[in-house]
Amino acid sequence: MLTEELVDLSRLQFAATALYHFLFVPLTLGLAFILVIMELTYVITDRPIYKDMTRFWGKLFGINFALGVTTGITMEFQFGTNWAYYSHYVGDIFGAPLAIEGLMAFFLESTFIGLFFFGWDRLNKWQHFMVTVLMAVGSNLSALWILIANGWMQDPVGAEFSFVTMRMEMTDFWAIVFNPTAQAKFVHTVSAGYVTASLFVLGISSYYLLKGRDLGFARRSFRIAAGFGFASALSVIVLGDESGYTVSESQQAKMAAIEAMWKTEPAPAAFTLFALPNEAAQRNDYELQIPYMLGLIGTRSVSETLPGIREIKEKNRARIESGMLAVVALEKIRKNRDDWDARSQFDLHKADLGFGLLLKKYTVDVSQATPEMIQQAVDSTIPRVAPLFWSFRLMVALGFAFLLLFSLALFYSIKGNFIEKKWLLRWALWFIPMPWIAAELGWVVAEYGRQPWTIYGVLPTHISVSNLTPANIYGSLAGFIGFYTVLLIVEMYLMTKYARQGPASLGTGKYHGEKAPSPSPIHSGGALPAGAPANRI
Amino acid sequence: MKKSLPDFLHHPLAREISLAIVIKLLVIVALFYAFFDGRALHPDADAVAERLANPHQAIKP
């Protein structure tokens, strides 16, 4: 039997693999562009230290890529094994961007990553720089196509249901590609990756500065990370706001749950800074609000209202009742395609088919659904409020903390005295894990907030799942968590090992802890090649 | 023996990365094989219609 346990386990398995996968992704997205900046500086200035910086941070990039690659494959397999009905229902649309990602972006990324590592002695400076650029573009293009697929799950545009094939069929490829929800998610997500990588470089550079070693190398890395990180942190907030705006338009239930907005407030609605959402009583306890702010963010106006949970539920009740008629008509059409009454009835209500399917969780024959069943379906259209409310606020608070950190890092970089600001260096070092937490919380908001749908408003989660036994999922879930945890431990071990070694791990003989190849001067910022003028480093 | 390897595998780092990727793929395949072999569904339009009509159907052997 298809049980609630099976649905929850399948969701947990996908969530676990996705969250593990995304531990590797943001660093790849951001570090690639930091490598581009470092290598461009090397190509322009011809100073070897920038080449060393590109190679060292590139080594950490390589460790992350080598361990992270293949962790995404399990999710693609799961579409077939755990979500077979989902795959049939929307595979025509969902499969296209995934295939393009594999064929175009991932191959581009992987090929140029190979050339990046093994091409230093085979390519000239400009050729190698172009390889690094294409590697960065490839990794970000991968993210683009994945997020186009994910954006379509949140806001299914450019597609239509066919009762003949019993699946969604693409009607407008470009509408899917330029789906505003997908585009906003893409830029917000890659910006979050840039913040992650910037803080990674900033934090490790701070470690060297606190230890008083490899100062020239760390100083330059710190400055680049501070500048790139400041721009990225600013972008992630602005683009996150844009992403929130698209949510308020296309996923009103998610927005209302994020904001714990139980009823429609007069425009412009206040933003709830703090509250204890009380789901049973449908109200917030200990509420602290900022007037007008949510209305301005969510509608970009002072006169438009944002619907609250109660109003959304009433709208959804009407859609569920309309969807019941669509489901009944569809079942008649499947028995007799020439039943024209059923076909016209279906055409009238097919926009609400997904809402009618929500009732299948409670009854086989939706035409016989009781008011209690309809009420259960109505209630299920709103995701649980408290997890979304808190995940969102923690993510946003971290986003502003990153902006503050990078603002200070950039300010003191321009002033030239950041090495003396030990508190700033310690803050940067201890803050290294935070962008990962923020990114994972962002995914919790996006995907938990999509419930009870796999395709928003089109396909309920409980219908998408394959008929497996819970034992299948328990076993494989344990296997994946164990396997991914091993990968994570190896990643952290290697990252820590090479970060501690620092640029000395390149074996150039110029850095902290290395034996100099000759009595040539060992500078704190990297040694000079014999005879080189000091200002070339 | 080494001469028979492709060029890129002569580099130790390339060998390590290739080996890591192969091991990871094998583990993933083994996990899927162990828990999902014989459970694959190939839904067609009728199967999906049946599924929508009755999502609580028993698992077919």
Strand pairing category for A459-460 and A453-455: antiparallel
Q: Do A479 and B34 touch (CB under 8 A)?
A: yes
Give residue A291's domain range: 265-299
Q: Do B32 and A81 touch (CB under 8 A)?
A: yes
Q: Is the residue at A260 inside a domain?
A: no
Asked whether the beta carbons of A473 and A9 are under 8 A apart, the reply is yes
Residue with tokens 């379906």: A377
Which strand (E) or helix (H) includes residue A161? strand A159-162
Which strand (E) or helix (H) includes residue A71? none
Helix intervals (H) in A251-384: 252-258, 293-299, 309-335, 340-349, 353-357, 371-380
Please report, in tens digits, the pLDDT of each residue of chain B (61 residues total). 456 777 777 777 778 888 888 898 899 999 888 888 877 677 788 888 888 877 776 444 3
Statement to judge: residues A195 and A315 lie in one domain: no
Our CA-based measurement puts residue B10 at a distance from the nearest CA of chain A, in whole angstroms, of: 11
* Helices A84-100, A125-154: crossing angle, 10 deg rounding: 150
Confidence (pLDDT) at A501? 92
Mutate to test the interface with A, among B39, B46, B50 (most CBs of A within 10 A): B39
Statement to judge: residues A99 and A213 lie in one domain: yes
Which amino acid does the sequence have at A256? A
* Helices A4-45, A73-81: crossing angle, 10 deg rounding: 150
Q: Residues of B with CB below 8 A from A80's CB?
A: 40
Q: Is the residue at A112 inside a domain?
A: yes
Listed residues A364, A380, A396: the one ending a domain: A380
Identify residues of B whose CB sits under 8 angstroms from chain A CBs.
Answer: 8, 11, 13-14, 17, 20-21, 24-25, 27-28, 31-32, 34-36, 39-49, 51-60
Number of domains in chain A: 3
Nearest CA in chain A to B8: A118
Q: Which of A66, A68, A139, A488 is nearest to B18 (CA)?
A: A66
Statement to judge: residues A317 and A451 lie in one domain: no
Which residue in A1, A70, A360 is closest to B25 by CB distance? A70
> Is residue A32 within 8 angstroms of chain B, CB to CB?
no
Statement to judge: residues A107 and A173 lie in one domain: yes
Give the whole-angstrom CA distance, residue A276 versus residue A384: 13
Give the whole-angstrom CA distance, residue A432 versus residue A402: 10
What letters, b where the CB count within 10 A reaches 16 and e where it falls short, cover A367-384? Answer: eebeeebbeebbebbbbe
CA-based radius of gyration for chain B: 21
Statement to judge: residues A202 and A284 lie in one domain: no
The set of residues, in sequence order, having a beta carbon less than 8 Å from that of A175 and lying 6+ positions away, is: A157, A158
Which residue in A84, A330, A473 is closest to B43 by CB distance? A84
Confidence (pLDDT) at A531? 38
Q: State how far the alpha carbon of A356 is from the alpha carbons of A89, A147, A326, A371, in Å.
A: 16, 28, 7, 14
Give the whole-angstrom CA distance, residue A137 versus residue A122: 22
Which residue in A73, A331, A483 is closest to B53 by CB distance? A331
Listed residues A380, A406, A431: the one ending a domain: A380
Confidence (pLDDT) at A197? 98
Which residue in A74, A84, A364 is closest to B28 by CB distance? A74
Q: Which of A49, A61, A116 is nearest to A503 (CA)?
A: A49
Token digits of residue A458:
């089109």
DSSP 8-state symbol, B57: P
Q: Residues of B with CB below 8 A from A62's CB?
A: 13, 17
Statement to judge: residues A292 and A314 lie in one domain: no
Statement to judge: residues A353 and A224 lie in one domain: no
Statement to judge: residues A453 and A482 lie in one domain: yes
Q: Is the residue at A514 inside a domain?
A: no
Q: Is the residue at A354 inside a domain?
A: yes
Q: Is the residue at A16 inside a domain?
A: yes
Q: Residues of B with CB below 8 A from A360's CB?
A: 52, 54-55
Q: Is the residue at A533 inside a domain?
A: no
Q: How many beta-carbon pairs below 8 A join chains A and B?
A: 109
Nearest CA in chain A to B60: A467
Our CA-based measurement puts residue A391 at a distance from the nearest CA of chain B, in whole angstroms, of: 31
Q: Residues of A with CB below 8 A from B32's CB?
A: 74, 77, 81, 476
Q: Which of A148, A385, A396 is nearest to A253 (CA)?
A: A385
Using 70 as the pLDDT threshold, list the residues of chain A that sit under it.
1-2, 516-537
Listed residues A337, A360, A380: the one ending a domain: A380
Output the CA angle A434-A437-A441, nearest 5 degrees.
140
Give the whole-angstrom CA distance, residue A39 versus residue A53: 8
Q: Is the residue at A531 inside a domain?
A: no
Statement to judge: residues A345 and A486 lie in one domain: no
Mutate to test the interface with A, among B17, B23, B25, B37 (most CBs of A within 10 A): B17
Q: Do A463 and B59 touch (CB under 8 A)?
A: no
Question: Quick count: other Cβ atoms within 10 Å of Cβ A76?
Answer: 12
Q: State how far the alpha carbon of A186 is from the alpha carbons of A29, A157, A228, A382, in Å.
A: 12, 16, 18, 25
Statement to judge: residues A388 and A421 lie in one domain: yes
Q: Is the residue at A359 inside a domain?
A: yes
Q: Do B21 and A66 touch (CB under 8 A)?
A: yes
